[in-house]
Amino acid sequence: MNSNPPKNNIIDLPVKGKVRQSAVAALERSNTTGTRVIAVTSGKGGVGKTNIVANLAYALTRLGQKVLVFDADLGLGNMDVLLGKAPRYNISHVIKGDKNIDEITVQGPGGMRILPASSGVQQITELTPAQRIRVLSALDTLMKDIDVLLIDTAAGISSNVMYFNVTAQEVIVVVTPEPTSITDAYALMKVMSLKYQEKKFSLLVNMVSGEAEAKDVCRQLSMVSRRFLDISIDYLGYIPMDGDLTRCVRGQKLVREQRPAAAASKSFDIVARDLNASPAPRLPAGYASHFWKYLIGKKFEGRGQAYADR
| pLDDT 10s digits, 66-79 | 999 999 888 677 89
End-to-end CA distance of the chain: 5
Q: Residue 299: what residue type?
A: K
| Chain-centroid distance, C-alpha 120 | 21
CB 171 within 8 A of CB 62: no
pLDDT at 203 over 90: yes
pTM of the model: 0.82
Rounded to whole angstroms, what are the CA distances from 307 to 6, 8, 155?
A: 7, 9, 30
Tell me the pLDDT tens digit for each residue of 70-124: 998 886 778 988 999 988 998 888 888 899 999 999 999 999 999 998 765 545 5
Residue 81 and residue 83: Cα distance in Å, rounded?
A: 5
pLDDT score at 36 = 93
List the CATH code of the domain at 33-240. Answer: 3.40.50.300
pLDDT score at 299 = 52
Strand residues in the chain grouped as ranges (E): 36-42, 67-72, 106-107, 113-115, 148-155, 170-175, 200-208, 232-240
Position 16 confidence tier, pLDDT thresholds 50, 70, 90: very low
Position 139 confidence tier, pLDDT thresholds 50, 70, 90: confident
